[in-house]
Amino acid sequence: MQIDRRLLIHFDWTLLGIVLAIASIGILNLYSATAKTEMAGTPLYLKQIFWVLMGLAVMVTIAFIEYRFYSDFAYIVYTAALFLLIVVLGYGMITSGAQRWVKIGSLSFQPSEFVKISLILALAKFFRRPPQPKGYLLKQLLLPLLLLFVPMGLILKQPDLGTAIILLLVFFSILIFVKIRWSSLLTIGLAGAAVVPLLWGFLKEYQKKRIFTFFNPDLDPLGAGYHLIQSKIAVGSGGILGKGFMKGTQCKLGFLPEQQTDFIFSALGEQWGMVGSLFVVGLYLALILWGLRIAVQAKDRFGAIVAFGVAAMLFWHVFINIGMVLGMMPVVGIPLPLLSYGGSFIISTLIGVGLLLNVSMRRYLF
Amino acid sequence: MMELNSQRMEDFKGRYKYLVAFVGLAFFLIFIRLWSLQVFKGSELRRLSENNCIRLRENPADRGMLLDRKGRILAHNRPSFEVYLVPEDLKTNPEVVIKIAEMLHVTQDEIGEKIKAQKRRAPFKPVKIKSDIDWNELALLESYRVHLPGLIVDVRPRRAYDYGDLASHLIGYLGEIDENELKQSRETPYRMGALIGKYGVEYEWENDLRGVDGGRQIEVDALGREIRPLGIVEPFPGSNLFLTIDLDLQKTAEEAYQGKNGALVAMDPKTGRILAMVSKPSFEPDIFARNILPEEWKALLENPHHPLQNKGIQGQYPAGSVFKIITAIAGLESGLITPNTALTCTGTFPYGNRDFRCWKDRGHGSISLHRAIVESCDIYFYQVGLKVGPDLIARYANEFGLGRVTGISLPHEKSGIVPSSSWKKKRFGVPWYSGETLSYSVGQGYLNTTPLQLLMLISGVANGGWLYEPQVVEKVENIYGKTLKEYSPVELGRANVSEKTLQIVQEALRGAVNDPHGTGGTCALKDVKVAGKTGTAQVVRLPENFKKGDMNRMPLKFRDHAWFVAYAPFEDPKIAIAVLVEHGGFGATAAAPIAKKVIEKYLNLEPSPSLKMEEKQIEVDYAD
């Protein structure tokens, strides 16, 4: 494939810089958070380096393919991701009580991660055609709602509440972005509110418990509330300057469960304190605002919606994860982009960044 | 199409600032929260994180020893091996419980209950399963230790009392600290589950005995595994107490009771130091040191003879004829009688519509004060009592410390009751009846005294009216033998009684033991002159036709208490003693022989046979 020279000129080095900075901090942080935990096999930070490198390769590939191609294949990608989800439900192996992984050869990955990207692509394709001046009507939203609910239902069945919530939030973010009639939004909102008690029944016992204990962590300080309390202690004990690199007692001594995945931010806060936390939070803010800028500067609606969808996905991940670590939100199991350990999630995040780069460097091309 | 597309792109551009504002707000919330956690609550959460990973393993101090006045050990500490289990480790190795239950001879359910009982336990905090295991069990556990993950065997100092129940009421006992005590001890922090003195000297000298607990700060991980020690504070043992009691004398006194119940207190009349203190029945302080079983506790509480009470200071009894000392002093001091005042005893004394009787049915005839005390004539003292009235009697009783606590440093001392006309008016709202004066003058009625109070009385009489604070501890020494506190004798004051009066009474008390018809002849010694007074405290009012010999046929709980108070040697008193035998009948038969054994022992005399002759015995046996 011939690569247009203008693409290299307009390559978004700022975005790449921010992403590489976060990913590097992520690897360093993972190194310190898991250094003392005895685990068989390759150390986690090395695996993470591998995933980041692989993700960067995928990202560059994604970035240089003309995104009209994604537009053409959006529904096919979506269907493929859905198929993988069904495979997971059928043959998925069970890890930590949830069927989320599919194994191909020696690699196992979570299809639900790719569903997020494929939903963004599918929605972008659908909303590519502009609405009436007052926005989309409810009946025009039947297909997008179907696009959301099928994978969301399957993911809830796994059960993976976190990813399902992300799908829902990304979906509504895109609806607002592409301009939906307020009356339609209200209708969907009310219908959704009516469904919540129904969904409550779908939740597993441990998920309900997590939500209860969010409102009162002392209810069960050694059980479900343990994560929340220990995580707040870890972050808070960092103070302004932190305890220092590799000196976090909370994570080093194993008081933080899932410290390498969902609670990685508490390891950061403990070691680097307010200063380090704000630096990383600032990088995320820059990443998201940059993504929004790419969205509004995109040359067409598909590109804009894809870029916005990715920015929204990153935003919700960051906001909910940090909010959860800081005890502002229930523990719902949403990882932190580029900081949390997890191959599929790194790859899907970097695919998203690849799409951002893609849209960004083609903003001047017609 | 493209045209239309770019046109509608303007919508997105217009939305940009709202989106930025929304994202900005969300991040601002994160910023606020970070500020609140890391800056505002930072130091508190830092402390919590340290609590998380720093455990304190206590190392309790050895409690100070209790020694007798000659330095012989009464209470000390020995190592006790305690078995703990870490419940978290058992989850992965449930078979450990089965093995340990077998080795320690307990059931698995018992272990399960102990673990469940610890509700608010920090994770990985060990739970005590059994304390003070024996050597066989210890050897078994140690040899299988590698197969028993979660097992911890800890060695702790454990209180040991080498002489069983000897002086148990004086020594007292320990118990686990309760919530009130935890709250009260602010400057001296106790940990939960610490043993604290609950009774006796162990209680009163708690602050000297306990020492300073040490401990190790260790860093642990979330699994409670020790990572490294952070700091060690060595415990400092408590101070040793030298008690005023004499081990040999105490043993003699305890043995003299031979299954009888009651109390004995002996002291040095010139210093107030307690030489022996017995209360029967007694208890084994050891059962408290190992955490008393509920059945044992119940048995002690429900025992009708109150083994947990130190009857020497907590038991309140009518003084009986011992009180005639006070009546005599009141009469002499008020000038209403003189030593030569002769009054007649015919065996019965009609007063009001009732006949008051003397213990001697035939009566004593016309007798003087000396003989009245020596032979303990009731009717003589009825008449003296009527002359002086209850309020003068009360005044002289108070002079010798009756009716109020002596101030001995032991818990729960009782004050007794010294009635007077104003007391009765206040208490019952009715005036004093002169008939009541009759029983009052011979130590019955409302009057209540503790054995220690009567000891104060006899000791005051012995040393010319001086009252000393009764002391049980001579000095406090730290482990290096340095004296930290020394308790010198404390004069409480002198009873306002003339020398002459005291001499008359002293002579009479000597006579009561040594004169031919003295009621206390059972305490007479060959080489040393003893002075003393017998007494009988009525438990129930006896019917008028009651025969003296009927007492032995009464149910035990209705039988009279026997008193004997004494001091010796008469010329230079070295020991004063008060003996009470509950439901013992007559002072001369039940109480005086006990006093005799103790005095003999203290003065290093050869045990002497009873001096009194057979025909006299019948008479004095029933003497009041």
Which chain A residues touch B16 with a CB distance below 8 Å?
292-293, 296
Tell me if chain A has a CB within 8 Å of the CB of B222: yes
CB atoms closer than 10 angstroms to residue B489 = 13
Tell me if chain A has a CB within 8 Å of the CB of B28: no
pLDDT digits (tens, 9 = 90+) for B250-280: 999 999 998 899 999 999 999 999 999 999 9
A52-73 average pLDDT score: 93
Which chain B residues touch A250 with a CB distance below 8 Å?
49, 52-53
What is the rounded CA–CA span in Å between residue A214 and residue A327? 7
Residues in chain B: 624
Task: Please tell me the least confidently modeled range out of A13-27, B105-119, B493-507.
Answer: B105-119
Tell which phi-psi region holds residue B91, choosing left (phi > 0), alpha (psi between -120 and 50) or beta.
Answer: alpha
Contact B80, B155 (CB under 8 A): yes
A30-44 average pLDDT score: 72
pLDDT digits (tens, 9 = 90+) for A219-240: 555 555 667 778 888 888 888 8
- Residue A173 pLDDT more than 80? yes
pLDDT digits (tens, 9 = 90+) for A249-258: 776 666 666 6
DSSP B414: -
Kindly indicate the confidence band of residue B106, based on its pLDDT and cuts at 50, 70 and 90: confident
- Residue B345 pLDDT more than 80? yes
Contact B534, B591 (CB under 8 A): yes
Which chain A residues touch B118 with a CB distance below 8 Å?
none
Chain A, 61-90: which have a CB under 8 Å from a chain B CB?
none
Give pLDDT, residue B222.
62
Q: What does the buried/exposed string (b/e) look like for B393-424 if buried means 16 or more CB atoms within 10 Å of the residue's CB?
A: bbbbbbbbbbbeebebbbbebbbbbbbbbebb
Closest CA to B520 of B587, B602, B579: B587
Tell me if chain A has a CB within 8 Å of the CB of B15: yes
Listed in order, strand segments (DSSP E) in B47-180 are 54-59, 66-67, 73-85, 127-130, 151-161, 173-176
Angle at A353 between CA A347 and CA A359, to 5 degrees: 140
Chain B, 174-193: which have a CB under 8 Å from a chain A CB?
none
Tell me if chain A has a CB within 8 Å of the CB of B41: yes
Tell me if chain B has a CB within 8 Å of the CB of A300: yes
- State whether A236 and B11 contact (CB < 8 Å): no
Contact B353, B484 (CB under 8 A): no
- State whether B42 and A177 contact (CB < 8 Å): no
pLDDT digits (tens, 9 = 90+) for B202-260: 999 999 999 888 777 777 666 666 666 766 778 889 999 999 999 999 999 999 998 89
The beta-carbon neighbor of B41 closest among A177, A236, A254 is: A236
Percent above pLDDT 70 for chain B:
88
Which chain A residues touch B25 with a CB distance below 8 Å?
none
Tell me if chain A has a CB within 8 Å of the CB of B53: yes
B589-593 average pLDDT score: 91
Percent above pLDDT 90 for chain B:
55
Give pLDDT, residue B8.
63
- Residue A10 pLDDT more than 90? no
- Find, in chain B, the residue whose alpha carbon is nearest to that of A315: B23
- Find, in chain A, the residue whose alpha carbon is nearest to that of B43: A237
Kindly indicate the confidence band of residue B504, based on its pLDDT and cuts at 50, 70 and 90: very high
- Find, in chain A, the residue whose alpha carbon is nearest to that of B48: A233
Kindly indicate the confidence band of residue B95, based on its pLDDT and cuts at 50, 70 and 90: confident
User: Do the strands B240-243 and B66-67 form a parallel or antiparallel pair, or are they unpaired?
Assistant: parallel
Which chain B residues touch A300 with a CB distance below 8 Å?
2, 5-6, 9
Give pLDDT, residue B612.
46
Q: Give the torsion sign (CA, B179, B183, B193, B125).
A: positive
Tell me if chain B has a CB within 8 Å of the CB of A223: no
Q: By three-state DSSP, how is residue B261 classified? A: coil
DSSP B550: G
Q: Which long-range contacts (CB under 8 A, 24 or more apart) does B619-622 make?
A: B619/B360, B619/B517, B620/B517, B620/B518, B620/B519, B620/B521, B620/B522, B620/B588, B621/B586, B621/B588, B621/B589, B622/B359, B622/B548, B622/B549, B622/B586
HSE (side-chain half, CA atoms, 13 Å) at B39? 11
Tell me if chain A has a CB within 8 Å of the CB of B26: yes
Kindly indicate the confidence band of residue B426, based on its pLDDT and cuts at 50, 70 and 90: very high
What is the rounded CA–CA span in Å between residue B9 and residue A304? 8
Give pLDDT, residue B478.
92
Is residue A99 exposed (0-12), middle (13-18) or buried (19+ Cβ within 10 Å)?
Answer: middle
Q: Which amino acid is at B463?
A: N
Tell me if chain A has a CB within 8 Å of the CB of B27: yes
Contact B457, B402 (CB under 8 A): yes
Which residue in B20, B22, B30 has the most chain A C-beta atoms within 10 A of its own C-beta, making it the best mutation to test that interface?
B30
Task: Please tell me the least confidently modeled range out of A225-239, B21-35, B186-200.
Answer: B186-200
Give pLDDT, residue B328.
96
Tell which phi-psi region holds residue A54, choosing left (phi > 0), alpha (psi between -120 and 50) or beta.
Answer: alpha
Tell me if chain A has a CB within 8 Å of the CB of B8: yes
Contact B203, B473 (CB under 8 A): no
What ranges do the domains of chain A cover? 5-361
The beta-carbon neighbor of A237 closest among B27, B48, B222 is: B48
What is the rounded CA–CA span in Å between residue A348 and residue A309? 13
Chain B closest-CA separation from residue A67 CA (Å): 15
**Which residue matches tokens 């339609």?**
A184
A15-25 average pLDDT score: 96
Structure tokens at B193: 């589950």
- State whether B34 and A281 contact (CB < 8 Å): yes
The beta-carbon neighbor of A301 closest among B8, B38, B52 is: B8
Give pLDDT, residue B615.
38
Q: For chain B, what is the mean pLDDT? A: 87
Which chain A residues touch B19 with a CB distance below 8 Å?
177, 292
B66-73 average pLDDT score: 94
Contact A114, A344 (CB under 8 A): yes
- Residue B174 pLDDT more than 50? yes
Contact B154, B20 (CB under 8 A): no
Which residue in B5, B35, B38 has the most chain A C-beta atoms within 10 A of its own C-beta, making it the best mutation to test that interface?
B38
The beta-carbon neighbor of B227 closest among A240, A253, A328 is: A253
The beta-carbon neighbor of B222 closest among A238, A254, A273 is: A254
Is residue B94 exposed (0-12), middle (13-18) or buried (19+ Cβ within 10 Å)?
Answer: exposed
Give pLDDT, residue B123.
61
Tell me if chain A has a CB within 8 Å of the CB of B5: yes
Q: Which domains does chain B have, with CATH numbers?
A: 55-243 (3.90.1310.10), 247-281+311-621 (3.40.710.10)
More confident residue, A168 or A39: A168
Backbone angles phi, psi at A222, to 5 degrees: -105, -5
- Residue A11 pLDDT more than 60? yes
Backbone angles phi, psi at A259, to 5 degrees: -65, -25
Chain A, 170-189: which have a CB under 8 Å from a chain B CB?
177, 179
Give pLDDT, residue A249.
73
Which chain B residues touch A251 with a CB distance below 8 Å?
none
What is the rounded CA–CA span in Å between residue B591 and residue A283? 95
Closest CA to B440 of B330, B578, B345, B343: B330
Which chain A residues touch B12 with a CB distance below 8 Å?
177, 295-296, 298, 304, 308
Tell me if chain B has a CB within 8 Å of the CB of A274: yes
Q: By three-state DSSP, how is residue B322 classified? A: helix
Chain B closest-CA separation from residue A71 CA (Å): 15
DSSP B433: P
- Find, in chain B, the residue whose alpha carbon is nearest to that of A173: B19
Tell me if chain B has a CB within 8 Å of the CB of A251: no
Kindly indicate the confidence band of residue B408, based on its pLDDT and cuts at 50, 70 and 90: very high
Which residue in A229, A233, A308, A318 has the most chain B C-beta atoms within 10 A of its own C-beta, making it the best mutation to test that interface?
A233
Structure tokens at B534: 């017998």
Give pLDDT, residue B247.
95
Closest CA to B221 of A250, A247, A232, A269: A250
Please state the separation of Cα A57 from the chain's center in Å: 19
pLDDT digits (tens, 9 = 90+) for A63-110: 999 898 999 999 999 999 999 888 877 765 554 445 556 665 555 678
Strand partners, B78: B158
- Residue A35 pLDDT more than 80? no
Percent above pLDDT 70 for chain A:
85
What is the rounded CA–CA span in Å between residue A45 and residue A29? 9
Task: Please tell me the least confidently modeled range out of A201-210, B399-408, B441-450, B542-551.
Answer: B542-551
- Residue B372 pLDDT more than 90? yes
Contact A145, A136 (CB under 8 A): no
Strand A93-95's sheet: what is its strand order? Answer: A93-95, A98-104, A107-109
Strand partners, B547: none
Give pLDDT, residue B423.
94
Listed in order, strand segments (DSSP E) in B478-546 are 483-486, 491-494, 531-537
Kindly indicate the confidence band of residue A210, based on its pLDDT and cuts at 50, 70 and 90: low
Q: By three-state DSSP, how is residue B371 classified? A: helix
CB atoms closer than 10 angstroms to residue A61 = 11
